[in-house]
Structures are given as structure tokens and as C-alpha cells.
Amino acid sequence: MGWRLNLRPYLLIVPALLLTCGILYPFGLGLYYTLFDFSASKPQPDMVRFENYETVFTQEAFWNSAWVTVLYAVGAAAVETVLGVAVALLLHRSTIVGRVLEKILILPLMIAPVIAAIIWKLMLQPSVGVINYLLRPFGLGGVQWTDTPTGALLSSIAVDVWVYTPFVAILALAGLRSLPTSPFEAAAVDGAGWWYTFRRLTLPMLWPYVLVAVIFRFMDSLKVFDIIYALTEGGPGDSTVVLQIRAYLEAIRFQRYSFGISYTIVLWAVVYLAAMVLVKHLGKIQRKAAEVPAK
Amino acid sequence: MDMHAHDRRRFLALTAAAAATPLLAACGAGFGGDDDKSDGSAADDVTGSFDWKREKGTTVKALLNKHPYTDALIADLKSFTEKTGIKVEYDVFPEDNYFDKLTVDLSSGRASYDVFMLGAYMVWQYGPPGWLEDLGPWMRNSSATGADWDQADFFPNLLQADQWSLKAGAPLGQGGQYALPWGWETNVVAYNTDVFKKLGLKPAETFDELRDIARTIKQKAPGAGFDGMYGIAVRGSRSWATIHPGFMTMYARNGLKDFTVEGGKLTPAMNTPKAVAFTEDWAGMVKQGGPPSWTSYTWYQCSSDLGAKKAGMLFDADTAAYFQAVEGASPASGKIAFHPGPKGPDGSLATNMWIWSLGMNAKSKKKSASWLFLQWATGKEHLLKSAITHNHIDPVRKSIADDAAYKNKMNNLPGFIETFEAVVDQTKIQFTPQAQFFDATTSWASALQEIYGGQGAGSVLDGLAGDLADKVG
């Protein structure tokens, strides 16, 4: 009987251990491959140590992709946060319209991002797309949405915002509904205005929830592939070639496997560091928010 | 407690070692695929007299791209099974995903598919890693190949296009036969006869004329009853596929090269003064007479626009226009005519081509049955039936191109046969064969988009050439 009790802790960690190995094995193998010059034209490669990383960092294409990736991630996460919180505040007033909108709001999240991008590609089409058709009465019917570098990036961000703002809104709404009511009642008794209450009470207490959404959206946006590839294929020129697309082109299209994986490892490091900073920040904010008296 | 802690540490250390073992084993195992490559061809194992029933009861697996040629093949598969007793299982993927699927599958080193569709450019990518079976020994073995297959009946430039020595820069038509031509396309101009008649236009004989006509249609067609019509549909997406049809055809007719080859070393030539001037003119033509949202245009949008009367002209594969021109296929059917397109300054009608070929997986375990399938699919009987009863046009065989029933069918389309005959002798692959083809042409398409967006052609193409020099040199 005693040995069973002694064994139990080890058995309990087995699923977690298997899961960890399942994650670490491919990751480790990928990392290992980056030390070689493995490609279709060189199936029996030589060890090149860190040469792939050196090449990545000395390529102008990498820095262009890194810049585009950051612009995209910051732009998408920022807009989604502001819009998501705004939508949550509107829906928090429990009217019938609010409850109906709440159900509709979740629809974009049910559509695969690549499908959403294709739908938007059709809607943004300059001559037959519905967006230009709607803009025509205002004299703006000829916009070539994805034909310019700025337009292509902004259009991609807009699609991301359309798909993922509901995610932020739902998290923010859940946060709003869990806030204590007494501070708001006290503020109302003291005659505090909406803006003051929002700035001094709602936002500080809601911030941990918002930051969780920001962390998820920022990390996801750094890893974007489907939306941009379906909408612009990375063009025009290299204007929307984010790191994931560059990695895909290198590893799959051009069959430089090691080099392509090096791109993904660099991207992983960036996402990991960004997540660490944000999570650390989240901890601080959560502790600060906890100082607000609970209901 | 101490004992427990000690045990836990030991347990974790042992588990970690066990987890690391397969990782290390994998590291030592090399990089995928097995190394049991034999020097001799499996074709040598086939002896005796030729017999279609030799592999009766076998199942061959095919990977196919969604295409009218594929539809014709699938419709006739029953004949193959009746003739050979071989069953064919197949997967069909749309073109957007097809080559990724094929590339990943072949690079896995497994024989998931025995036979597949590919283009001649893919031979340059799939040939060097040893993924493609050399079909030469099969073709030469009279026990494996029936006399009625008639190799001499193929247009010679098509067979040569799938033949390569696997050396960068080496011309096609030497070395292994890595695929067989099955269906092909020349790149010519198709135009809407109604708008040409109304605006008093004639097909362009020079590139300058083509640009003028494209601009004129965009300016005047909407006011002449062709609402929303623009001048010329050409591809523009950030893909290798943008470069090879109209652009490469006109580029070659101007005597321009993608690379120069000296002593086996490739030097990018997209930035010579003549190439820069041509590229600038091409981008200018698109800007003044091309489609809105050109940077997302694939062959499908180009072809659909011609069919929907949105484009006055199409400079692309003759088949892309043909599929819109056949009766009832589109609003423009019956009003589409064909023309070889502008000549080069020296009268050249050099034309780039695309070949849908059929290849065999070098790792296939059913090579003999697969060869029988390839032989049947590229044989006279199936191809003639497909050309006449389906839309498998631009025959790879001379006998079909000359067949009265085929000619009779195609004569319904104004200028098709004449255009085909005008360019057929000068149609070949105008690119320099090399393994980095897809990187080079994708970057080239990206450069073209930048020039279209207003950046200086000289500096963009210098940057492209500099980047490619390191990769192909």
C-alpha cells in the first residue's frame, strides 16, 4: 500500500511530462537543424554552427520583415484593445440591444482568419468590391486598397481588427461584470462624472483583464501568417512580408529548410521576450488592482 | 523526506535522459528519407515482350492539380483500368495549394503518391534532390514501353523542356528525362473583338502599339458602352507565376535574358539597361491600361476579366483565354479572338511556355505500374479523346495538332490555330534552368510590384540582381 502512495506523485506528473516532451522534441529538433545548411539541394548537410543566424541578421530582408511584423502587431493589438474595451463598455449596459449585439459580436471569431481575409479581399476589390461601391457616393470609389505598401498593411490590420476585436471585447466584458459595485456606488453618491469614474475606477480595476487580452493579441499578431498571406501574399513588393511569411517562403517555397527554421527561431525568441515583459507587467498591475477594495 | 526528494530528482533525471534519447537518435539519423538509392534504374527489371496487363491488380496513387486537363483525365480513367487492370486512386488540389502539397510530400522522402502533375520549372527544384524518377531508361526499354507510344510524335521542344542535366545554367534537352509533357500552353494575346471593332483597333504588332492600345481601351471603352473595361489583363501577384507568361514572353522577344552563363556561373541580367527600360515600360503599361488591384492578379482573375468583358485584352496562356472563349463559357464567348502578340524589335516571336507534365516519384514502390499509367496518359489514344471530347487543348503530340477533328473543333475560335502555328516553333522555356528559380522569380515579381508602385526601376532591379547573385552564383 505504501509503495502505491509513494508512486502516486510520479504518476501524476506523467501526462504533463509527456506533454512537455511532445512540445520540446520538435522544438529541439528544429533548433538543431538550424546549425546545418540543410536544404533540398543539400540533403546531407554540413554543420555550419550559427552561420544561418548570422545570415538572417545581416539580411536587409530580415530587418524589413521584423519592422513590418512589429508595426503590424503593435497596430493590430492597439486598435483591437481600444475598440474592444469601447465595445465592452457599451455592451455592459444590459439593454436588449446590448444582449443581441453580444451574440452577433462573437461571429467573426467563428470564421477562420484565412476565410475572413478572402472575404475582405473580395470586399476591398477596387472595381467590384462592396467597400468602394459604398464609398462611391462620397467620391471615394476608386481606392486601390492593397496596391500600395501603406494601404496593404492597413488593410491587413483592419482584417485582423475585424476578426479579433470581439475577443478583446469579450474578455473586457467579463472583467467589467466581475468588478465590485461598491466603489462605483460611492463615486455616484459623490457626484463623480462618467469620465472621472472611468479613468479613476473602471480602467485601473479592468486593466489586468485588458492586459491579458493585449498579451494574447500581441503575441498572436507577431506570429500572423494567414490573414496577410491570403490578402496580399506579402506584397506589394516586400511591404507586408512579416517574419512568418519570410520563414514559410524560405522553408517551403524555396526549400532552404535550416534557413527557414532560423527565421522561426528568431521569431520565437522575440515572442518569448515580449511575453515575458508583458507578463511581468501584468503581475505588477494585478497586485496594484488588488489594492482596490473588493465588494 | 530526504529519501523522497532524492528519488524524485533521480526519477526526473532518468526521465529527462529517456526523453533526450530519441532526440539524440534523431540527430544522428540524418535529415529525412532513406539512403537506399540504387544506381540502376528499376526499368531494367522489366523484360520480355510489352504487355499492358503486366501489373494487373496494382493500385497507383496520383496527385493532381484541379484543371480542365485533369477533368479530361479523370473522365477517361476507366479506359486505363480496362486496358491494364490497374486501379488509379487520386487526390485533386487547387493550384494555390497544389505545389506546396507536392513539395512537402516529395521532401518527406515517402512514396505517398506514385505519379503527379508538375511543370518543367519544378524539375529544376525536384530533380537535384533526387525526388524524380529518370524516365529515360523506361522510354528506352521496349519491354516496358509499347511501340505505339511513339516518342517521335511529341513536339521535340516539349520533351526537351523536361530533360535536364541537373547543373545550374546547363541548357535543357540534356541529361535525365524527369517528366513527360502532357499538356502545354503558349503565351499570346487574346482580345475582345467587339471593343476592337467599336474603337477601330487592330492587334498590336509591336510592344509600343500594345501599350497604346491598352491605354486607349482603358480611356475610351467605358464611354463606348463597355462599362468598367480596362485595357490589358496580365498577372501581378507576388508570385513566380507573374513572371513566366506575358512578361517573360515579351522580355524574350526583346532579346533579354534572366541570367547570363559563363563557365557554369550564373550572373543576373535583369538589371541591364535594356532590361530596366523594358521593365519600366511593362509596369507603365499596367499602370495606364491594366486592371485595378493588379498586385493581386493571378491567371484566374486575368482570364475571368476577359470572359466578363472587364478586360479588352489578355496577354497570358492561350488556354486561359480558350476556357473563356468556348461557347457558353462566359459573357464574352464568341467574341474572343487570338493573336501571336507583339513582335520583338527584330521580328522575334520568341514565346515562353508552360508545360503540365507528369512525373514519377523516385521513391515509388510501384514504378512499373506507374510507368504504364504515364505511358497511357501521354499516349495518342487518351490525348486525342481528351482534346476532342474535352478541353485538353494545345496538344503535346504533332499527330493530334494535325488531326482533322481537332482542327475542326478549334477552327471555331478566330485566330487560334493560326496563332498556335505562328508561335509553336519559337515557343520554349525562356528561363535559365537553375534550382533557385522560384526564389528568383518571386523576388522578380516583388520588384515589378515596387516599380509599379513608383520606385525607380534601375535601383530596384540592381537590388534584385545583387541579392540573386549571392544565391545562384
The chain A residue lying nearest B96, using CA atoms, is A230
Q: What distance separates the 2 farthest-apart alpha carbons in chain B?
A: 98
Average pLDDT over residues B350-361: 97
**pTM for this entry:** 0.89
| Per-residue pLDDT, A103 | 84
Is the CB of B292 less than 8 angstroms away from the CB of A147? yes
How confident is the model over A55-66, as pLDDT tens digits?
Answer: 999 999 999 999
Q: Name the band, by pLDDT with cuts 50, 70 and 90, for residue B17.
A: very low
The chain A residue lying nearest B21, using CA atoms, is A25
Distance between CA atoms of B238 and A235, rounded to whole angstroms? Answer: 6
| B237/A contact by beta carbon, under 8 A | yes
Is the CB of A24 less than 8 angstroms away from the CB of B450? no
Q: Name the band, by pLDDT with cuts 50, 70 and 90, for residue B473.
A: low
Distance between CA atoms of A110 and B429, rounded to whole angstroms? Answer: 46
Examine the pLDDT at A240 and tell me if it is beyond 70: yes
How confident is the model over A55-101, as pLDDT tens digits?
Answer: 999 999 999 999 999 999 999 999 999 999 999 998 887 678 778 88
CA B66 from centroid of its chain's CA atoms = 13
Distance between CA atoms of B116 and B93, rounded to whole angstroms? Answer: 11
Is the CB of B4 less than 8 angstroms away from the CB of A6? yes
| B128/A contact by beta carbon, under 8 A | yes
Of A133-142, B372-381, B404-413, minimum mean pLDDT range:
A133-142
Q: What percent of chain A has pLDDT over 90?
A: 79
Is the CB of B107 less than 8 angstroms away from the CB of A24? no
Q: What distance separates the 2 farthest-apart alpha carbons in chain A?
A: 83
| Per-residue pLDDT, B97 | 85
How confident is the model over B129-175, as pLDDT tens digits?
Answer: 999 999 999 999 999 999 999 999 999 999 999 999 999 999 999 99
The chain B residue lying nearest A118, using CA atoms, is B296
Average pLDDT over residues B341-366: 97
B26, B292, B453 ranked by CB distance to A236: nearest: B453
Q: Which has more pLDDT, B349 or B8? A: B349
| Per-residue pLDDT, B137 | 97
Distance between CA atoms of B216 and B443, rounded to whole angstroms? Answer: 31
Backbone φ and ψ of B444, nearest 5°: -65, -45
Using alpha carbons, select from B309, B275, B300, B281 the residue that is nearest to residue B210.
B281
Examine the pLDDT at A128 and tell me if it is beyond 90: no
Average pLDDT over residues A18-22: 94
Examine the pLDDT at B19 and tell me if it is beyond 80: no
Nearest CA-CA distance, residue B346 and chain A, Å: 33
How confident is the model over B99-137, as pLDDT tens digits?
Answer: 999 999 999 888 999 999 999 999 999 999 999 999 999
Distance between CA atoms of B183 and A42, rounded to whole angstroms? Answer: 31
The chain A residue lying nearest B25, using CA atoms, is A29
Interface predicted TM-score (ipTM): 0.87
| Per-residue pLDDT, A224 | 96
Is the CB of A32 less than 8 angstroms away from the CB of B228? no
DSSP letter, residue B343: P
| Per-residue pLDDT, A130 | 94
How confident is the model over B273-315, as pLDDT tens digits?
Answer: 999 999 999 999 999 999 988 999 999 999 999 999 999 999 9
Give the residue from B230, B235, B295 with the most A CB atoms within 10 Å of its CB, the best one to mutate: B295
Q: Which has more pLDDT, A268 or B25? A: A268
Q: Name the band, by pLDDT with cuts 50, 70 and 90, for residue A102.
A: confident
Distance between CA atoms of A206 and A179, rounded to whole angstroms? Answer: 8
Concatenated DSSP letters of B195-249: HHHHHT----SSHHHHHHHHHHHHHHTGGGT-TT-EEEE---SSSHHHHTTHHHH
Q: Name the band, by pLDDT with cuts 50, 70 and 90, for residue B31.
A: low
| Per-residue pLDDT, B39 | 55
CA A2 from centroid of its chain's CA atoms = 49
Is the CB of A127 less than 8 angstroms away from the CB of B228? yes
Is the CB of A237 less than 8 angstroms away from the CB of B435? no
| Per-residue pLDDT, A105 | 86
Q: What are the residues whose beta carbons fall under 8 Å from the beta carbon of B107, sequence distance 6 or more?
A: A40, A255, B32, B129, B131
Backbone φ and ψ of A42, nearest 5°: -140, 70
Nearest CA-CA distance, residue B422 and chain A, Å: 35
Chain A hits for B295, Cβ within 8 Å: 146-147, 152, 232, 235-236
Distance between CA atoms of B265 and B461, rounded to whole angstroms? Answer: 20
The chain A residue lying nearest B34, using CA atoms, is A43
Is the CB of A38 less than 8 angstroms away from the CB of B447? no
| Per-residue pLDDT, B102 | 96
| Per-residue pLDDT, A289 | 72
| Per-residue pLDDT, A295 | 43
Is the CB of B293 less than 8 angstroms away from the CB of A144? yes
A113 touches A105 (CB < 8 A): no
| Per-residue pLDDT, A1 | 63
Distance between CA atoms of A121 and A119, rounded to whole angstroms? Answer: 5
Average pLDDT over residues A135-152: 91
Examine the pLDDT at B36 and tell me if it is beyond 80: no
Whether the link from the prior residue into A236 is cis, omega within 30° of 0, is: yes
Mean pLDDT of chain A: 92
- Local structure of B313: helix, strand or coil: strand
Examine the pLDDT at B38 and tell me if it is beyond 80: no
| Per-residue pLDDT, A69 | 97
